[in-house]
Amino acid sequence: MDRLDHFRETGTNFTHGANGRFIDPIRRNLAIVDLSPLRRDCLKLALLQQPRRWHVTDVATAIELAQLIRRGERFEVILLGASTCAHIDLSDLALLSAAAPEAPILVTADCDDTESARVILRSGARGFLPTSLGLKVLMGALERMRAGGTYVPLLLTEPVTPGTADWAQETPWRELTRRQRDVLALISEGKSNKLIADALTMTESTVKAHVKQIIKRLHVANRTQAALIASRASWQQARH
């Protein structure tokens, strides 16, 4: 018997099924979305060792999970993971929130600043777990969110001190056209390209072109960082 089979056969708070195997009396369905097969496998192995076990479905992309949900799969919690906050696509959050509005989304990633995590929380995630925290914290966060709660580290609940980052006080909106500012407004709300296109009555290809220009003109790496700038600056006034 290998180690994985051993973990499947042992544990606490289990009952015997008709076939003699242990069955968790409470079904815990967890979906893991992460491009990294290594991170997915490590999480599955770690969860398999816990007394309160989760039935895990793992996929590489949000699109794959949305397809499973449309085919009738249901999950108590969705875990969206990435190496850093910059690799969390806000459109993935929008897609998953629309596909399974009843399933809370927990994002786990490494962030250099708290505001990036706050953007993610404002964009549809019900919880955020820095990768610097351990497995016990993850298990507690999953159970809390499964029960209808949220999980936000204490650091993220502290008020933001004005002026902590000089670049956030700048006004880069002069580099954007009015239409690009409208697109950025919806990006900062976590809208996908399709939802932005519908809201602004334009094609998705036009939205993609605007997003590309926004990223270029704001000198950022992706739309998440653009949303971060939008959330920090007083740019609502700059749009008018």
> pLDDT (tens digit, 9 = 90+) per residue, 103-124?
999 999 988 777 788 888 888 8
CATH 3.40.50.2300 fits 3-157, yes or no: yes
Strands (E), the chain: 15-16, 22-23, 29-33, 55-59, 77-84, 105-110, 127-130
Query: CA 78, CA 102: separation in Å to the nearest integer?
Result: 10
Domain boundaries defined on the chain: 3-157, 166-231
Contact in structure between 106 and 125 (CB atoms under 8 Å)? yes
Residue 237 has pLDDT above 80, yes or no: no
Q: Which class is domain 166-231?
A: mainly alpha
175 DSSP 8-state letter: G
pTM: 0.61
Give the number of other CB atoms < 10 A from CB of residue 55.
Answer: 13
130 beta partners: 109
Q: What is the pLDDT of residue 23?
A: 43
The domains spanning 3-157 and 166-231 adopt the same CATH topology: no
Mean pLDDT to the nearest integer, 147-153: 87
